[in-house]
Amino acid sequence: MLVNMDDDDRPITPGGVKCDAAQSLASESLDRYSQDELQARIELLQIEIERVRTRLASSSATRLAAEALFRPHG
């Protein structure tokens, strides 16, 4: 598993485990949101999912290229 250099900036939960924004969102109560707000939240999360998928694909492509470059020939 690769570790982001900024991991130390993540908040620490009461149990001592570092969490990220997605974990914080997943644990948030949705009771106070209207239907319109919930729909807007879904749309924003779908945009964020696509952004993460794009970054993951880019990162994977970069890693494969680096591995190919440094792979021993012969």
Which amino acid is located at 1 in the chain? M
C-alpha dihedral sign at 38, 39, 41, 45: positive
Spatial contact of 38 and 30, defined as CB atoms under 8 Å apart: yes
- pLDDT at residue 12 greater than cutoff 70: no
- pLDDT score for 39: 98
- pLDDT score for 69: 78
d(C-alpha 69, C-alpha 41), whole Å: 42
- pLDDT at residue 3 greater than cutoff 80: no
Name the residue ranges covered by the structural domains of the chain.
7-70
16-66 pLDDT, tens digit per residue, is 666 788 888 889 999 999 999 999 999 999 999 999 999 999 998 888 888
- pLDDT score for 8: 61
